[in-house]
Amino acid sequence: MDKSGLDRLMVKINNDRDEIAFSELFDFLSPKINSYYLQNGLISDNAEELTQEVMSTIWSKSHLYDSSKSAVSTWVYTIARNKKVDFLRKNKDFKYNEYDIREFLYQANTEHKNDKYEIRDQVEKINKELDYKQRQIIKMNFFENKSHKKISEELEIPLGTVKSRIRHILIKMQRIL
């Protein structure tokens, strides 16, 4: 499914409370969210429970999705990530959850003028500038949150090479951002 497909489903879910559209979105997204949690080192039971929570949030909070501000995939990613952080902090009596800390980022009245398209351009530039291997390392480091050591084991390259590649990627991205 492409981005416009996701957008269409979100409109049906939000405007018509269309359960068929939601089941399509569920079939497409839940396996990807589930593997995100597994990649982040969660055991299967927890990964499934958190995935179910993310999908429930999408259904019940669909009115909070603002298509002019972000892509569906980015919105879903932030929900999944925040649930992961709250889960990993474990400290149940802690007063602030991840939403409190990031709350201002989700407000409609933030004054950041750079719109979705400007951001899209930058993302495309990043994808063009970085080769497959570099994008793979970004994914492992920042999406799967794997340690440098784990990355070096999985890719079977020395730890020093991982570190220098990440550094190289960061320098490259700095020129784009």
Partner 1 sequence: MNGTVVKNQLIFDFASGSLGLSKSIFASTYLYLNSKASSIHRTFENVLGDNLLENTDIPLSKFSYSDCLTNKTKPVEATNDNNSPLSKIVGPLNDIKWKQIYKGFSEYTPNIDDADELKLIKMEPGTAAPNHSHGGKEYILVLSGSFCDEYGTYSKGDIQINDQKIKHTPIASNDEGCICLSITEKDVIFFGRYGSFLNLFTFIRSFFK
Total Cβ atoms within 10 A of residue 131: 10
Span 71-100, contacts to partner 1 by CB under 8 A:
71, 73-78, 80-82, 84-85, 89, 91, 94, 96, 98-100
Burial of residue 107 (CB within 10 Å: 0-12, 13-18, 19+) is exposed
* Residue 84 vs 165, nearer CB to partner 1: 84
Binding to partner 1, residues 104-163 (CB under 8 A): 104-112, 114, 119-120, 122-123, 126-127, 138-139, 141-143, 145
Nearest residue to 74 (alpha-carbon basis) of 122, 15, 40, 109? 122
Is residue 4 a contact residue for partner 1 (CB under 8 A)? no
- Nearer of residues 22 and 162 to partner 1, judged by Cβ: 22
CA angle at residue 125 from 5 to 156, to 5 degrees? 95
Euclidean distance between CA atoms 99 and 105, whole angstroms: 9
Site string for partner 1, 19-58 (x = CB under 8 A): x--xx--xx--xxxxxxx-xx----xx--x--xxx-xxxx
> How many amino acids of this chain bind partner 1 (CB under 8 A)?
80
